[in-house]
Homo-oligomer: A and B are copies of this chain.
Amino acid sequence: METTPARATHPPGTCKPDPSTHPRPDGEDRYTISEVVAVTGLTAHTLRWYERIGLMSDVSRSHTGQRCYTNRDLDWLALVAKLRLTGMPVADMVRYAELVRLGEETFDERRQLLESTRRDVLNRMAELQDTLAVLDYKIDIYAGVRTAQERA
């Protein structure tokens, strides 16, 4: 299986010269796709797909054509993961990635995008708070029924 979070072996010269112990030892380190899988929990399929759709730009390659992810890439993936769980559509994240590629000109648009996402997050949290109240109400009812049954 490709999704196995394996300890990848590192043939010298392919991608990673330093077989470090922890993810992200820092410096100018490079990761194979399987290491990124292990760190992020994404599948290799998904990582390649992210690249194809423009959500990961410019992943560098080893001399044999294999992907070499950097710490910057991992940072980006971490941000993407956060944005994902706000429910932001992938297309919007691609747009954001595009803005990043376009450079400083787009700082304002990026900030607006993040602020709108921030509002979404707050809304969603409020909705969840509401839902929590409903759940607690229902759970209380069921718990009450059970204790009533136990008393009987």
List A residues at the B interface (Cβ < 8 Å): 79, 82-83, 85-86, 104, 107-108, 110-111, 114-115, 117-118, 121-122, 124-125, 127-132, 134-136, 138-139, 142-143, 145-146
13 contacts between A and B (CB under 8 A): A82-B130, A82-B135, A85-B127, A85-B128, A86-B128, A107-B142, A111-B142, A115-B139, A117-B135, A118-B139, A121-B131, A125-B125, A125-B132
A115 to B143, CA, bound (A): 11
Closest Cβ of chain B: how far from A8's Cβ, in Å?
Answer: 28
Q: Which residue of B lies closest to A143 (CB)?
A: B111
Is B86's CB under 8 angstroms from A146's CB?
no
The residue that A132 contacts in the complex, of B111, B122, B143, with Cβ under 8 A, is B122
Q: Which residues of B contact A83 (CB under 8 A)?
A: 131
A104 to B135, CA, bound (A): 18
Q: Which residues of B contact A86 (CB under 8 A)?
A: 128, 131
Closest Cβ of chain B: how far from A76's Cβ, in Å?
Answer: 12
